[in-house]
Amino acid sequence: MLDVSIRSGILNLLAELRKNLGLSLIFISHDLSTVQYLCDRIAIMYLGRIVEIGPVKQVIERGYHPYTRALLEAVPWSILI
């Protein structure tokens, strides 16, 4: 965990690098609000296996796996899409 201002700065820098340089990255997190901000696609893993994969918006709106739903329930809806 980082201080909120440092975390925000790092996330903004990563987003800027993606935009300006066409950078691809793998971002690993349990925080779906951050994933939504930074990523185009998402893969949800449970017990070492991918259980859902697709565009972030689609997975967040239609998450079907119980673990995906648990992750979504941990984020206030006002933050997601």
CA dihedral 45, 46, 51, 56 (to 10 degrees): -40
Rounded average pLDDT over 10-32: 91
d(CA 73, CA 36): 15
**Predicted pLDDT at 3:** 80
Question: What are the tens digits of pLDDT across the range 27-67?
Answer: 999 889 889 989 999 999 999 999 999 999 999 999 899 99
DSSP characters over 30-45: S-HHHHHHH-SEEEEE
> What is the domain partition of the chain in residue ranges?
4-73
Q: Within a 10 A sphere around the Cβ of 32, how many other Cβ atoms?
A: 22
Rounded average pLDDT over 71-78: 79
- Token readout for 11 is 């996330």
65: enclosing H helix or E strand: none
**Predicted pLDDT at 21:** 94
